[in-house]
Structure 1
Amino acid sequence: MSITTDKLEVMPVISRPEDFDARSGGLLERIIFNNRMILVIACALLTVLLGLQASKLEINASFEKMMPVSHPFIQNYLQNTASLRGLGNSVRIVVENANGDIYDADYLAALRDINDRVFLVPGVDRSFMKSLWMPVVRWTEITAEGYKGGAVMPDTYDGSPASIEALRDNVRRAGIVGSLVANDERSSMLFVPLLSHDAMSGKALDYRAFRDAVDSIRTEYAAKGVNIYIIGFAQLVGDLIHGLIEVFTYFLYAAVICTGLILAYTRCLRSTALVVTCSLVAVAWQLGLMRLFGLVLDPYSVLVPFLIFAIGVSHGAQKMNGITQDIGRGTHRYVAARYTFRRLFLAGLTALLADAVGFGVLSVIDIPVIRDLAVAASTGVAVLIFTNLILLPVLLSYTGVSLAAAARSLREDEEDHPLARWLARFTKRPWALAVIVFSVVATVAALVVAQDLKIGDLDPGAPELRPDSTYNRDNAFITAHYQLSSDQFAVVVTTPEQGLVTYETLLEMDRLEEILRDLPGVQTTVSAASLARNYTAAGFEGSPKWITLNRDSYVVADALNYVYDGNPEMFNDSRSVAPIIAFLADHKAETLDRVVKTVEAFAAEHNTNERKFLLAAGNSGIEAATNIVVSDANRKMLFYVYAAVIALCFITFRSWRAVVVAVVPLVVTSLLCEALMVTLGIGVKVATLPVTALGVGIGVDYSLYLLAVQLAAQREGLSLTEAYCKALVFTGKVVALIGITLAAAVVPWAWSPIKFQADMGLLLAFMFVWNMLGALIVIPCLAAFLLKDETVRRKGSQSAQLSREASSTNSVVPAPSENVLKAAGSASRPPVEFVRPTSVAAAAGGAKE
């Protein structure tokens, strides 16, 4: 490329394309613009092909992809998942009799029908499903003749009062009140474990189809006086997928808002339409490539098209602004497109690479769904290099801009804008010092507040959804009416085959249960050991003295056989893997950390070659592993993104002072964002972790576009104030437009039914706006101390000669007016003069719109 930040290339006004030397410019420019039609046709064909692929993109999610699969906790779970069927992906369906209790013939008939229909839903692990109508749910009691037991639902049930009374007795003898039957006995639960792949088709579980199937049952029975409440990962993901479909409408809102802002700025329909079209083409390419890469749209990656569109619009606005200004001075649209390509391709490429870094560093988060997001987003940014840095200037070289937009651009460049006069003051040290002091105070305050930033979820229920969502209302109902929490933390006990049938193993399990029950936040625990105590007593006439663990291996084996009959999920067939399940009061990070540290300390002391206590399973165990990964990735991710951004800025500016000026506002905004998260009660988790990286990667675009022009002008001999004013006129006003446009693109997320998307939208909008303000205000303040001597360092005979040439030749970049410089406190005369175009209409390429 012929443009660097070393000098501001002087480009003459050329009104006729035949007067332009097509051999000028860099190799890439010549390849692109000397073969324009071939490029346009190739892009059109590629858009059609990838658009067809995008139309086939699936919307789904995966339980396994939500877990940090390489974390030791998850590795332990996955290695033993076949033996832990009740602790993986499961759904709980509660059926309530709105007009009475469960001991009602009509209710029980409805429950049987619901049970049978859920049993046949694809993806259900039928052998481990539990409800009053499943024979695996059994009761046991000790009588004078010995053990007596059977299925809770009597084999002779016929709906008669006698059979219903028998059911009542069996429920109480089974001890399932509070687990499968509500405390008030007005509802009962279906426990539905799920398979990751359908056993019949072999396809991955379709969460949307599963959710639709059970929700259709809910809707049907609501009209019959039977209320149904559903919680579990599959239901949550199904609700999220349905929320995604609604979120797609916000894409339309974002497109309309961005289009309106660009149109209001340019007053040119054709160029605005091209900017928006190229951004939509980028989205189509990105979605099509996702399909080719085997990815799907999930609750996280659905946000990527929004960001790609917004980033595309912002970079397109810079290209359009440059071409419009050139055309306004009389340059032909084809020549103007090449001039703009020369000036801004390197800055735009560096900015997009910074965006790619912001997305790419997300791959350090050891969670497949976030890594897929990183791949999808990085692909989209790579696409933007072609659609917005190359295709857009080529298309504008054909269409040009309207006469009104070109004339207005020239008028605005000559006029004194009040905002430019006000911003120019920040290049003077008294003003700059005041802003820097304020920034330091705000940064220190943000650091203090950010100390309270929490890891993980802070809200009950499913924080991914809003508190008043159907799912969270269902969760609140189930939590209020059942003794056992849905937050389960499981410790996996592994032994050789038949190793559980020993007194020593059961004793160690029992000891860990006792320790866990004493922890704050743990409601109760259950394991084969605690269940074996009761079954041992039952074998000895129910004597309380025998509620213990027996040293006799035959007594232990007999007790575990009865445990397995009623609770087959408590250990595997070979008696080698068993969970210790702790039911937690909440899933906050403090509660999970407390349990993790307790189990780790116990395991370090009691693990042997024959017996190991491994972390972790259950939804809370998986969340504990996720929190650990998020906590580890949080600072590491920031380190990587800032290191990459600093490296890119240094390559672009070749000045450590300029790098400091560009990066410091980003750091301030990052800290303010963390303080905002504390204020709003938002924790650092999978959904919010990407925000800071995205804010930094995208936010550095402002600095790159503004400083590239400012430094080039300074190195041509202009003072800091003159250079900054020139940068404001050329790219600064578009930086403000970009900040507003990016924020406007994500603000509609605030109305999303998916709460974490609303949180991300709010945080990203905050970072986009503050990064924009940092570029326009903090950068000139820092430059007043760090870049004040940039002109002196670059002066010399060559620079003086270039300055004299710039005084007598038409420069591409307009100079700041005398009034702006005077308002800033500078009396320097700008070295660049305006030349009135002789034929703006011809250069614009069309009549006034």
Structure 2
Amino acid sequence: MKNATFRALGRVIDLLLRHRVLVVATIAALTCVMGYLAAHIEIKTVFSDLLPKNHPYVAVNNKFKQTFGGSNMVSIMLEVEQGDIFDMKLLGKVQKITQDLKKVEGVDTYQIVSLASKKMKEVRASTEGIESRPLMWPNLPRDQAGIAALREAVLNNPLVYGPYVSIDMKATLITADFTDGAVNYLKAYEQIQAIAERASGDGVLVRVVGEPILYGLVNHYLTETLYIFLITVGALVFLLLLISRTWHGTLLPLVTGGVSAVWALGAAKLMGFHLDPLVIVVAFLITAQAISNSVQLVSRFDDEVAAGAPSTAAAAKASLSNLFKPGMLAIVADAGCVLVVALTPIPMLEKISYIGTVWILSIMFSAMVLTPVLLSWCGLRRRYAHPVNIMPALQGILGLCARLVTSRARYAIVGGAAVVFVVSGLYAFNLKVGDANPGSPILWPDSTYNRDASAINQKFQGSDRMFVVVGGKHEGALKEPAVLEGMERFQKYMEAQPEVGGSLSLADILPAVKRVVREGNARYQELGNSANENGELVYMFVSGADPGDMDRFADPQALNGAVTLFFRDHQGETIRTAIARVKEYVAAHPIADAEFLLAGGLVGVLAAVNEVILAGQIEAIAFALLVLVVCCMFTYRSSVAGMFFMVPVLLSNTLTFSYMAWKGIGMNINTLPVVALGIGLGVDYSFYIVDGIREELHHHRDIGRAIAKSIASAGKGVLITALTLVTSVVLWSFSSLRLQADMGVLIAIWLFISACSALFLMPAMVLVFRPEFIVGSKRHPIEQATAVEPVPAF
């Protein structure tokens, strides 16, 4: 069976080499077509792609975001260095920013709130009756008396003092929401940043945070990201040329990676997908897999030539024949591991999964077909591009590996790996789902954005918001005293959580209005005693107001209202605690005329993302391991093979998860694709080493010699690939985006652990456990190979 399969593969390779001009022309033509499509792919971030599909929190957010505020809110804080905000110069800046925000593309002009907006009102009682009027609209205070009146109105208004004016009165807040689907993050960032810069100075500090600003920054750094990508490619070229010393050993792996990338991006355009700037590092990870396969073929080709191959075509055929099985197994296993990411119902992850699967499958043509065909044109005489020869050093490393794994040290290697697996596995339980630190994990802790977020959270109740909808069972339900009292108790309960800086609802408004009606007597700052009284208080508050002024508190029918919670951070643990507390309160305190609906706003949708990722992480890893086991069982016709190759995968996963937990890198929507890809990447190198051992045993029975030969041949490709990719990927650590730097380090760790597992652990396990599918047995001996027919020169 072995020889029959080998001969059939040989005939296919002969066909490819005989028609190599046609093969190259066909691949080149397809690459040109895909290149044209790839050139038109959009690079952008779409926030809706980050949200889970069919999740109840997201459904609530989408239903009520136009009323109670969505997840694309921007907060602008103006802080004075001396004095307080009740200064004509600062108030003028507030007014100017409020007016300028209306011109920002995609902003919802009805959701701009500040001291200078029409929505910010006070309720006053006089001999002429009750009136509700804006605090500082349309004009600024004219004199010091006007400023004093404004100060008094702010201090007596709980909707302003605290939420929009800091307790020390040194800062004021302006918020603006954007219409989902209409916001261009880069434009919004640039326009708001320009507004902030114009307002800065004269003793006033301006700080800006919000998802449009964050993702606008990501797009702002896109040029830098592309530069780093090009520098990384340049480092790859240099390292490959330094190590291989040949142009074919340098250029062919890069051609392989380039062709796969072009085909994948072209396919993405055909599928109507765009490319998110945050996943460019993931693209590099897939490209690394293409380069790895090509390096293995080139390395084996050089060995065949050095062994006296009669022609380059014969050397190319022998290279592909011997590496076809591990190469195809690596490709299929990686594609399957990436495809299972689509099981997580988040559009961005689904798109990454489909693009990544096409990308990896394209390696079948770019590496397994194009590389050997191009190698067949290389000359038998090796011409070196430079005199520096580091190959003896690499061979020394490989020789050390062979000596260690074939000596008694193999038991220490296997035992040490087991200890490392247990310890790292236990520590990996500290890995957090969601953001692991305050601020945005996309940016560095000392970035301007994260410093601004920290400053705003210190001055105000919190820049991150979640609204819980109080859905009435009939019109006017929100006016019922029992419903309002339930909202009030719920707010007090939630504010006991330290990360919740405050809350706001209709239950905060009506007591303030009742106090005004009672001549400012604080004893009457309470809810109405009946639905009718509460209805009158609502009417007093909205009298003279514009349509929509009450939207952030309740709808016109008093059917649905919102309790808005302000969070000082959106760490995974903070969000999980808040959601658990909401569910606990709702279960223990039902309201007859209404129900609580979770949850909207940024924190609400992040809660949905974290819940999906927690389940998706376990599901993706489980299915990816299942794909790996099935692929190995099918290839080697052994159930033991699947379990055997799970060892390097589990080890690389636990070590990487431990590193993430140690460095405070959370498992979130941006890191999950790298984790799934790492499952396949963690075993690719091992396929080549183990299959090399197995192939060598087809020629003789000496397992120690087979291991040494496999490490010397396949191990050379592993070492070259690991050295070049690990060294070059470290360049991502210079990125202004922390996420990209972290992902670069994770990729480097995965590559390093995978290489060490392939060179040390797997050969040692072969010698210690002697699995039947590799070394054979008396019942199933390893079939001896026959001579390969020579390939004529073309």
Q: 1:31 to 1:131 in 2, by over 3 A?
A: farther
Alignment of 1:499 onto 2:477: yes
Paired residue for 1:350?
Answer: 329
State the distance in 2 between where 1:357 and 1:576 align: 49
Alignment of 1:338 onto 2:322: no
What is the Cα deviation at residue 33 of structure 1? 3.1
What is the Cα deviation at residue 790 of structure 1? 6.3
State the distance in 2 between where 1:721 and 1:8 align: 27
Q: Choose which of 674, 677, 680 in structure 1 pairs with 2:660.
A: 677
Alignment of 1:194 onto 2:178: yes
Q: Contact 1:154 / 1:163 at 8 angstroms: preserved in 2?
A: no
Paired residue for 1:454?
Answer: 432
Q: Contact 2:624 / 2:679 at 8 angstroms: preserved in 1?
A: yes
Letter of the 1:534 counterpart:
A
Paired residue for 1:770?
Answer: 753
State the distance in 1 between where 2:140 and 2:745 align: 56
State the distance in 2 between where 1:143 and 1:194 align: 38
Q: Spell out the pairing of 1:269-308 with structure 2 (5 A cutoff).
A: 269-308=247-286
Q: Choose which of 183, 186, 194 in structure 2 pairs with 1:216.
A: 194
User: Which shifted more, 280-289 or 310-319?
Assistant: 280-289
Q: Contact 2:693 / 2:774 at 8 angstroms: preserved in 1?
A: no
State the distance in 2 between where 1:662 and 1:760 align: 25
Alignment of 1:46 onto 2:13: no
What is the Cα deviation at residue 181 of structure 1? 2.7
Q: Contact 1:171 / 1:177 at 8 angstroms: preserved in 2?
A: yes
Alignment of 1:432 onto 2:415: no
- The TM-score with structure 2 as length reference comes to 0.91
Letter of the 2:296 counterpart:
Q
Unaligned runs of 5+ in 2: none
Paired residue for 2:725?
Answer: 742
Letter of the 2:239 counterpart:
L
What is the Cα deviation at residue 146 of structure 1? 4.1
**Secondary structure of 2:75's partner?**
strand
Deviation per CA, 1:125-147, whole angstroms, max 9, x where unpaired?
00121122221111223346542
Letter of the 1:260 counterpart:
F
State the distance in 1 between where 2:457 and 2:735 align: 26
What is the Cα deviation at residue 562 of structure 1? 4.6
Paired residue for 1:724?
Answer: 707
Q: Spell out the pairing of 1:794-813 with structure 2 (5 A cutoff).
A: 802=784
Deviation per CA, 1:783-820, whole angstroms, max 9, x where unpaired?
113226668746799968x47x66xx8999xxxxxxxx
Q: 1:811 to 1:177 in 2, by over 3 A?
A: farther
State the distance in 2 between where 1:296 and 1:762 align: 25
**Secondary structure of 2:113's partner?**
coil
State the distance in 2 between where 1:130 and 1:335 align: 75
Paired residue for 1:821?
Answer: none
Aligned residues: 785
Q: 1:660 to 1:752 in 2, by over 3 A?
A: same
Unaligned runs of 5+ in 1: 12-23, 199-204, 813-841
Q: 1:543 to 1:60 in 2, by over 3 A?
A: same
Q: Choose which of 257, 279, 303 in structure 2 pairs with 1:325.
A: 303
Paired residue for 1:366?
Answer: 345
What is the Cα deviation at residue 45 of structure 1? 2.4
Q: 1:93 to 1:31 in 2, by over 3 A?
A: farther
Alignment of 1:382 onto 2:361: yes
Q: 1:411 to 1:596 in 2, by over 3 A?
A: closer
State the distance in 2 between where 1:459 and 1:420 align: 41
Q: 1:432 to 1:554 in 2, by over 3 A?
A: same
What is the Cα deviation at residue 557 of structure 1? 0.9
Deviation per CA, 1:594-639, whole angstroms, max 9, x where unpaired?
2222221333345578522111112222222222222222222211
The percent identity for this pair of structures is 26
State the distance in 2 between where 1:416 and 1:52 align: 41
Q: Contact 2:633 / 2:640 at 8 angstroms: preserved in 1?
A: no
State the distance in 1 between where 2:164 and 2:58 align: 28
Alignment of 1:603 onto 2:586: yes
Q: Choose which of 147, 161, 175 in structure 2 pairs with 1:177.
A: 161
Q: Contact 1:254 / 1:746 at 8 angstroms: preserved in 2?
A: yes
**Secondary structure of 1:602's partner?**
helix
**Secondary structure of 2:552's partner?**
helix
Q: Contact 1:153 / 1:170 at 8 angstroms: preserved in 2?
A: no
Q: Contact 2:37 / 2:269 at 8 angstroms: preserved in 1?
A: yes
Paired residue for 1:664?
Answer: 647
Alignment of 1:60 onto 2:44: yes
Q: 1:497 to 1:400 in 2, by over 3 A?
A: farther
**Secondary structure of 2:163's partner?**
coil
**Secondary structure of 1:659's partner?**
helix
Letter of the 1:578 counterpart:
G
Paired residue for 1:690?
Answer: 673
Deviation per CA, 1:207-242, whole angstroms, max 9, x where unpaired?
111111112223344466654211111001001112
Q: Choose which of 539, 551, 556 in structure 1 pairs with 2:529.
A: 551
Q: CA RMSD in A?
A: 3.2
Deviation per CA, 1:148-169, whole angstroms, max 9, x where unpaired?
4411115554754454444444
What is the Cα deviation at residue 725 of structure 1? 1.6
What is the Cα deviation at residue 39 of structure 1? 2.5
Letter of the 1:375 counterpart:
Y
User: Which shifted more, 131-140 or 590-599?
Assistant: 590-599
Alignment of 1:615 onto 2:583: no
State the distance in 1 between where 2:452 and 2:739 align: 19
Q: Spell out the pairing of 1:7-86 with structure 2 (5 A cutoff).
A: 25=9, 28-84=12-68, 86=69
State the distance in 2 between where 1:540 and 1:224 align: 42
What is the Cα deviation at residue 314 of structure 1? 1.2
State the distance in 2 between where 1:228 and 1:348 align: 56
What is the Cα deviation at residue 555 of structure 1? 0.9
- The TM-score with structure 1 as length reference comes to 0.85
State the distance in 2 between where 1:446 and 1:212 align: 44
Alignment of 1:487 onto 2:464: yes
Q: 1:194 to 1:45 in 2, by over 3 A?
A: same
Letter of the 1:490 counterpart:
F
Q: 1:80 to 1:148 in 2, by over 3 A?
A: closer
Paired residue for 2:113?
Answer: 130
**Secondary structure of 1:403's partner?**
coil
Q: Contact 1:666 / 1:774 at 8 angstroms: preserved in 2?
A: no
What is the Cα deviation at residue 99 of structure 1? 6.8
Alignment of 1:572 onto 2:555: yes
What is the Cα deviation at residue 547 of structure 1? 2.6
Q: Choose which of 224, 228, 233 in structure 2 pairs with 1:255.
A: 233
What is the Cα deviation at residue 173 of structure 1? 4.2
State the distance in 2 between where 1:471 and 1:440 align: 43
State the distance in 2 between where 1:793 and 1:500 align: 76
**Secondary structure of 2:362's partner?**
helix
Letter of the 1:553 counterpart:
A
State the distance in 2 between where 1:110 and 1:798 align: 85
Q: Contact 1:490 / 1:616 at 8 angstroms: preserved in 2?
A: yes
State the distance in 1 between where 2:579 and 2:779 align: 66
What is the Cα deviation at residue 527 of structure 1? 1.3
State the distance in 2 between where 1:798 and 1:557 align: 88
Q: 1:266 to 1:602 in 2, by over 3 A?
A: same
State the distance in 2 between where 1:338 and 1:444 align: 43
Paired residue for 2:567?
Answer: 584
What is the Cα deviation at residue 35 of structure 1? 3.0
**Secondary structure of 2:369's partner?**
helix
User: Which shifted more, 51-60 or 313-322?
Assistant: 51-60
What is the Cα deviation at residue 740 of structure 1? 2.3
